[in-house]
Amino acid sequence: MTELVARLTSDEHGFVAVLPELDGVEGFGTTALAAAACHIPEVAEHFGDGIDWLTVGAAPPHVVESLVRDRLESFGVPWITADAEPDFEEPGTGLLVLDGVRTAEQLRACLSLTSDVTVLVTARTADILPGLPSIIRLKVPDGGWPLLARLSGSLGTSVDDAFDLADPAARAYAVRKVLDAGLPSLSPGALPRLLELGAFAADSDIPASIVPAVWERTAGLSKGASERLLAELCEAGLADHRPDRDLLLVPDVVRDYLRQASSGEVVSRTAKALIGTFTDVEEAIVEETVKDEAVMYCLAHLPDHYVAAGEDLADLVTQTGWIASKLASLGIAAVDRDLARAGAPEAKRLRRTLARNAHLFTHGDRGALLPTLAARLYGNAGELREMLHAAGEPWLDCLWAPPDLPHPALVRTMRLNDERVTQVAISPDSTWIAGASWEGKARIWNLDGSLRATLSGHEDAVSSVAISADGTWLATASWDRTVRTWLADGTPIAVMEAAHGEVQQVAIAPDGTWIAAVTDDGSLMAWSDTGNPLWRVQAQADEHSKIAIGAGSAWVAHPCDDGIRVWNRDGTQRCAIPLSEDLQVAEVVAHPLRDAIVALHMDSRARCWSPEGAMEGVVEPALDDCSDMAMSSDGRWLASSVNRPEGFVTARIDRPREEMGFVARHALVNDLAVSRDSTLLVTAIEPSMIQVWDPARFPARGEDHRRTIANAVAVARDGTWLATAGTGLSFWDSAGGRTATVA
């Protein structure tokens, strides 16, 4: 205690962390120490703006961020979102306690809001902490593990055998012995109710307000009887009621015991009670949903309880009220997982519709979300209409299919919170996407749009990203003159220095043994997969064009001012392909199956070259005004971005005279990539979005894929039909079906 008080009042630290001596052990008394310190008069007097407390627990990062904002506002000090890592050298005039932080993501959400406060964190492990905090370690007291000592004392049992406190299995065994012997001593009927707590979601804290409602359904307990039972469990150390967030915290080792001791009948009974508690799910849309613990638990975990109770999950997750609630509170990725899990035809239809329009559903913006969702689900928006009318919200009611619905080839759209992605790559198994951005970070997203990892470490814009052929690691290049490698989960591997210039492009050899990169002075350099320098040449490489490593990993090719140059893997030049001004190269890719280079030339045609410099074929017709290029893994087609607001084109290269198969319009494409099995095409588009396409749905040759554009409309006097004039004259029935079109 003396050390903690001294750290808090020393005016030397703006961040203090209290951790157990044994890393990762819960129930060590860190919370009790922090609470006691807050009541020391010396501490209270030191923080003149006050002391506030936040139980973090298992809350998702976006919920933690919202709750921290509330706490900061209670101090009367401004908060801003930090662009860089916060600096805690200067202590604040208020103290914010973040109790029970579990993950680095939670802590980043807390610390991304800079303000004039000192932060005191309690946690189980130093792994989640940044490198700057002042850490206090609690030593093991003479009485042993505090959690076990409390359980033993309250339940009248003891552990006779010595055990290794650092061993999780030994800790679990010791707790199991105490609970087996002591739980029968609880009041009559308490043990079955305690076991029901084991049926709650393992990765979530339990909202205290839900428990009495569940026990009323499972055992007929009154609210008063439930509160007395909760008090008994808390007194025994089996639970802890945290009123600052209306949470019932059960120690992890106790929850593990309860889950193992609960029968299938207990789990099913509790699940049915939870479902009954949340019958009217549309009421989950409230002004402050993110701060309602019961509603947030419902939205996150009710699908799990539907499955546990043997109910049809589609009955829940296809309700538009449920979809709107979950979109507003947890985002599109959570809704996508629900619909994928249900698997019913209606769920599949809704999933595809929502995924293609995902960029329109702004997380947390309920005012815009409901009418937008109603427009996108125009054929199934009855429940949403009732909600809009009840809320008094004005909106436009779509009687026919909206004219701006996405093209059928579009699989998913991902909004990236105003982050401009300049290059993308897709993993070999097509489950995640990596993107480089000007904001100084690279990120990895799951294919459902959820963020998997943030790759922090570069000190300037990240210019390029590449994924290894086996999908286990990736490389990023930056203007900070480094190339960095990472595991697929975001763990850093190595840093490679490029002292001669800002790194613009990076590529990984298909065999995974070496990496090549281009700097802004035209240098081409290579490193081993472990980060050891191999060679550097002054290649006069075009810094704005990608480099291509051959399918056999034997050579690397790049555009330059006078044509194409090809280098062997040992850094010796294999050949130079001199080209006239009309044939200058905008982009090159390595043919995935042949020992060949496919180059996109300034005359808007793609040509195939051998690595020895012989031209092997031309793709017709012209790919007009194109730049970035990607090729399917079977070598049958390629895609290229268009240097106008028209998006991209695809063209067959196994049938040279065939016309372009598809043009995606109204999107400025920064980069594109094709999945290894050629089933997905990923584009990074302006502004701040990634789109995933299904090439199998691209129109066939000669098909007109354009939307009907109506410049004028006239409605029949009896209201049974109308006509639109635009790309032809079209006639429509009252249900929105097109009956005829006159060109």
Question: Which tens digits make up the pLDDT trace of 260-304?
Answer: 998 889 999 999 999 888 764 445 444 444 457 888 888 889 999
Residue 645 has pLDDT above 80, yes or no: no
Question: From residue 234, how far is each of 206, 240, 634 by CA, in Å?
Answer: 13, 5, 63
pLDDT for position 378: 65
pLDDT for position 114: 61
- Model confidence band, residue 743 (pLDDT cutoffs 50, 70, 90): low
Cα distance between residue 250 and residue 270, in whole Å: 17
The first and second tokens of residue 512, run together, are 């995974």
Concatenating the DSSP letter of every residue in 590-607 gives E-SSSS-EEEEETTS-EE
pLDDT for position 702: 45
pLDDT for position 137: 84
| Mean pLDDT, residues 514-528 | 93
| Mean pLDDT, residues 596-624 | 81
Kindly report, residue by residue over 194-225, the tens digit of the pLDDT. 999 999 998 889 999 899 999 999 999 999 99
Q: Which fold has domain 411-697?
A: Methylamine Dehydrogenase; Chain H (2.130.10)
| Mean pLDDT, residues 16-35 | 89
Residue 188 has pLDDT above 80, yes or no: yes
Measured at the alpha carbon of residue 445, what is the angle toward residues 444 and 446, in degrees to the nearest 5? Answer: 130
pLDDT for position 282: 43
Architecture of 146-276 per CATH? Orthogonal Bundle (1.10)
Name the segment(s) of the chain with CATH classification 3.40.50.300: 2-138
Name the segment(s) of the chain with CATH classification 1.10.10: 146-276
Residue 588 has pLDDT above 80, yes or no: yes
More confident residue, 416 or 568: 568
Residue 628 has pLDDT above 50, yes or no: yes
pLDDT for position 281: 43
Residue 561 has pLDDT above 80, yes or no: yes
- Consecutive H or E run containing 169: helix 168-182
Q: Determine which of 163-167, 176-180, 555-559 has the lowest per-residue pLDDT on average.
A: 163-167
Name the segment(s) of the chain with CATH classification 2.130.10.10: 411-697
pLDDT for position 190: 93
Helix (H), strand (E) counts: the chain: 19, 42
| Mean pLDDT, residues 683-705 | 73
pLDDT for position 379: 62
Average pLDDT, rounded, for the chain: 83
- CB count in 10 Å sphere of residue 417: 8
| Mean pLDDT, residues 344-359 | 86
More confident residue, 271 or 375: 271
- CB count in 10 Å sphere of residue 722: 17
- Model confidence band, residue 704 (pLDDT cutoffs 50, 70, 90): very low
Q: Determine which of 319-323, 515-519, 610-614 has the lowest per-residue pLDDT on average.
A: 319-323
Residue 587 has pLDDT above 50, yes or no: yes
pLDDT for position 67: 87
Residue 110 has pLDDT above 80, yes or no: no
Cβ-contact 448, 458 below 8 angstroms:
no
The first and second tokens of residue 269, run together, are 């009974």
585, 589, 591, 596 alpha-carbon torsion, rounded to 10°? 40
Q: Does the domain at residues 2-138 carry the CATH identifier 3.40.50.300?
A: yes
Measured at the alpha carbon of residue 720, what is the angle toward residues 719 and 723, in degrees to the nearest 5? Answer: 85
**pLDDT above 90 as % of the chain:** 37
More confident residue, 358 or 476: 476
pLDDT for position 707: 45
Q: CB pairs under 8 A, 24+ apart, for 168-172?
A: 168/24, 171/25, 171/145, 171/253, 172/253, 172/256, 172/257
- Integer-rounded Cα radius of gyration of the chain: 30
